[in-house]
Chains A and B, each alone.
Chain A
Amino acid sequence: MMDLSALEQPVAADAASSAAAVSRALAALSDLDLLRLRALARLRARGLPPGIDWSDLLNEALARALDGARQWPQGVPFLVFLAGVMRSISHEVWQRRRREADLIAFGNNAEADARDAICPAADQERVLGASEAVAAIYRLFANDPMALHIISGLANGQSAEDIRILHGLSEVEYNSARRRMRRALLRAGLREHTP
C-alpha cells in the first residue's frame, strides 16, 4: 500500500476538506493500489442484486467520498475507508430493495405499523444471491483444503488464531495458505468476468 503518512487523513475534517483530501488521495494512488482497489470492489460486489456490478459499487463509493457525503475519518488508511464505504453501500442496496418490494406488495400501507405480514421477495433474492456468492468463493479455493479451512473460519467470524488452532495449522502453513488465498483473490479481481 502507499505510504501510510500519505494514506491517512491527518486531521479531523469537515465535508469539504474531506472531499478535497479524497480527491488528492485518489490522484496519488499507485498502480498496485489501483489493482487492490479493483479487487476489493469486485469482491464486495459479490452477492449484489443482478444488474449492479463492481464498477457501479465503486463509482457510488467514490461519488459519496468526493462530495463529502461520506467523510474520510482521521487515522483511517484511504483504501480501508473506501472498502468501508463500499461495504455500507452494498448493505443499503439491499435495504432499498426490501423497501421497494414492500411498496410493491403493500403500496401506501408499506410503512404502517399495524402491518402483520412481511414481504419476503427481497430477502429471498438476497439469500439466493448470497448462497451463490458463498459457493463461488468456495469454488475459487476448491483445490486448496487449507485455504478452505480459513475461508470457512472467516465465514464463521473466527479470528486468524482460532482458525489456525482449530485446524492444527502451524504458523508457516497458515501464512502460506493465506498468501495463496490472497493471490487467488487478486487474480479473481483482475479477471473481466467474476467466476
Chain B
Amino acid sequence: MTQRGMTGWHPEQDLTALLDGLSEELLAARDHDLATWVREAGEPVEDIAEPMRRLLAAADAGGIPPHMSMDLKAGVRASIARNQ
C-alpha cells in the first residue's frame, strides 16, 4: 500500500498500480504453466475457452449491446457504422 499515513492513503491509486502489475504477470505467464494450472483446477481448457470464443464472435458480429455505464462512444460508433 502507499507509504503514507492512513489519512493520505489513496486506495484507488494502489489498486491501479496493483492491477497494472498483476496484469503484466498474467501476460507474462507461459502457455505451458497456464495449461498446467487449468488442468490442476480440474476443468478442461476447451470448456472455459468455448464460452469466451462465443462472446468474442458475438462482439465481432456487433451482437452485444454496450453497458449503459460504458457506452461513452455510442455517438461516434453509430456515426462510423452509418458511414461504412
The answer to whether the Cβ of A101 comes within 8 Å of any Cβ in the partner chain is no
Per-residue contact bits, chain A 104-137, to B (CB 8 Å; 1 contact, 0 not): 0000000000000000000000110011011001
Number of contacts between A and B (CB, 8 Å)? 179
Chain A, interface residues (CB within 8 Å), range: 35 or more
B70–A31 contact, CB under 8 A? no
Option from A36, A87, A96, A133 in Cβ contact (under 8 Å) with B26: A36
- Are the CB atoms of A134 and B23 closer together than 8 Å? no
Chain B residue, CB-CB nearest to A65? B59
Chain A nearest CB, measured from B83 CB (Å): 11
Interface size, chain B (Cβ < 8 Å): 52
Output the least CB separation between A22 and chain B (Å): 9
A185 at the interface (CB under 8 A from B): yes
A169: interface (CB < 8 Å): no
The reply to whether B25 and A58 form a contact with Cβ atoms under 8 Å apart is: no
Tell yes or no: A92 within 8 A of B by CB: yes
A133 to B18, CA, bound (A): 10
Query: In the complex the two chains form, is B22's CB within 8 Å of A63's CB?
Result: no
Q: Are A134 and B34 in contact (CB under 8 A)?
A: no
Most B CB contacts (10 A, CB to CB) among A35, A52, A64, A89 go to: A35
CB-contacts of A41-76 with B (<8 A): 43-44, 46-47, 49, 51-52, 55-60, 62-64, 66-69
Q: Is the CB of A32 within 8 A of B45?
A: yes
In the complex, A59 Cα to B27 Cα: how many Å?
19
Question: Is A103 an interface residue when CB atoms closer than 8 A count as contact?
Answer: no
Do residues A67 and B59 form an inter-chain contact, with CB atoms below 8 A? no
How many angstroms from the CA of A157 to the CA of B16 in the assembled complex? 10
Complex formed: what's the CA distance from A58 to B37 in Å? 23
Known: A32-B45, A80-B27. A69 touches B22 (CB 8 A): no
Residues A63 and B12 in contact, CB atoms below 8 Å apart: no
Cα(A49)–Cα(B38), bound, Å: 29
User: A35-B49, A38-B52, A52-B69 are known contacts. Are A186 and B26 too (CB-CB below 8 A)?
Assistant: yes
- For the complex formed, measure the closest distance between the CB of B17 and the CB atoms of chain A, giving whole angstroms: 5
Interface residues of A (CB under 8 A from B): 1, 15, 23, 26-27, 29-32, 34-40, 43-44, 46-47, 49, 51-52, 55-60, 62-64, 66-69, 77, 79-80, 83, 87, 89, 92-94, 96-97, 126-127, 130-131, 133-134, 137, 151-152, 154-157, 178-179, 181-183, 185-187, 189-190
Interface residues of B (CB under 8 A from A): 1-3, 10-12, 14-15, 17-23, 25-29, 31, 33-35, 37-38, 40-41, 43, 45-46, 48-49, 52-53, 55-56, 59-60, 62, 64, 66-67, 69-73, 76-77, 80-81
